[in-house]
Amino acid sequence: MTANTTFPKMARKNQTLGEFIIENQSEFMYSSGELSKLINAIRLAAKVVNHEVNKAGLVDILGTAGDTNVQGEDQQKLDVLANEKFIQTLKNREIVCGIASEEEDHYISINSQDEKHQNKYVVLIDPLDGSSNIDVNVSVGTIFSIYRRVTPTGTPVTMEDFLQAGNRQVAAGYIIYGTSTMLVYTTGHGVNGFTLNPAIGTFYLSHPNMTFPETGKIYSVNEGNYIHFPQGVKDYIKYCQMEEGDRPYTSRYIGSLVSDFHRNMIKGGIYMYPKSSVAQAGKLRLLYECNPMAFLAEQANGKASDGEGRILDIQPTELHQRVPFFCGSRKMVEKAEEFMRKAGKP
């Protein structure tokens, strides 16, 4: 899979997501409509979760997880609720044959009620990434990754259907619940961003063909972990801070991958979650955080690396495995890799 060179046939500003999907249907490889229905299912779940996230500030009035609200209703933690909404919406559509989620220890096998259904897609999700930010009213996001199953249709999915390298994804994207709610996704033909008009519940194409600037002046990393980083990462952070040429860069770290990625894609920048002496493989999960974001990054002419090689070429071995993650403007990721190469294996 190479960086996007073909734009969607139809990408008119203010086109609705529904119109966009229909007008670009032919570009969904092999799909006879299921992938479109899948993206539509994600669109619906996004609206439901958006409604819940936006009223989170009222949780003290409405009650919190394990409590009951003023109406005596059980309140759920938002990440549990987001997980349930996405899983239920995807199940109801009879399109997917399996789902994996950060909130579920094991994958969920969805055996079709109708044996005629040859559901051929599996979806992997981080239903509410950065959910700890909700209590302080900071943007959070949902991340999704879609593959065609590799085991025979009509049979229950196996782990093999989920442990596919990221370069086999057919679609990936995120929803960012920020100052506005956006759905940003790719099917391998570039990256397009749709903004929700909450008054009418419609997503409009607001950011056609999003691309990372080739370089930037923002670096995003939790510098509180600095002393634990490998020497090459420390050297790159010091490079970013040095007074020379277009540097020092600006440090911006929200603590929400989707938000940092989204800002860096628009303005130019690099997001890093390196391995460290306290987290040997870093923190981020390969299957439902790094792979989808890496697919988006490459489709937006950016780059995504584990510090040594391409994220999308990693062969997964476990459902919840973690990898170090460096993602964003191509030249910035390449410079970070250069410092790590020079410093050698920690």
Residues engaged in binding ligand P6P (CB under 6 A): 129-130, 222, 255-257, 283-284
Closest separation between CB of residue 285 and ligand P6P, Å?
8
Of 7 and 226, CB closest to ligand P6P: 226
Of 187 and 329, CB closest to ligand P6P: 329
Of 195 and 256, CB closest to ligand P6P: 256
What is the residue type of 270? Answer: I
Closest separation between CB of residue 274 and ligand P6P, Å?
11
Closest separation between CB of residue 283 and ligand P6P, Å?
6
| 320 φ, ψ (degrees, to nearest 5) | -110, 30
Closest separation between CB of residue 320 and ligand P6P, Å?
12
Of 50 and 142, CB closest to ligand P6P: 142
Rg (C-alpha) for the chain, rounded Å, is 20
Which two tokens mark 146? 């879609």
Of 103 and 161, CB closest to ligand P6P: 103
| Count of CB atoms situated within 10 Å of the CB of 33 | 12
Of 28 and 174, CB closest to ligand P6P: 174
Of 81 and 176, CB closest to ligand P6P: 176
Closest separation between CB of residue 288 and ligand P6P, Å?
11
Which two tokens mark 230? 């490998």
| 150 φ, ψ (degrees, to nearest 5) | -110, -15
Contacts of residue 4, Cβ cutoff 8 Å, sequence gap at least 6:
186, 188, 189, 190, 191, 209, 211, 299, 300, 301
Which two tokens mark 138? 């900071």
* The 218-220 sheet, strands edge to edge: 250-251, 218-220, 270-273, 325-328, 303-305
Which two tokens mark 147? 């593959």
- CA neighbor of 197 nearest in space, from 52, 10, 17: 17
Closest separation between CB of residue 59 and ligand P6P, Å?
19
Closest separation between CB of residue 333 and ligand P6P, Å?
16
Three-state secondary structure call for residue 123: strand
Of 190 and 316, CB closest to ligand P6P: 316
Return the sign of the alpha-carbon dihedral for residues 327, 328, 333, 336: negative
Please, what is the Cα angle at 144 between 143 and 148, to 5 degrees?
Answer: 165
Closest separation between CB of residue 41 and ligand P6P, Å?
23
* 243 CB-contact burial (10 Å; exposed 0-12 / middle 13-18 / buried 19+): exposed
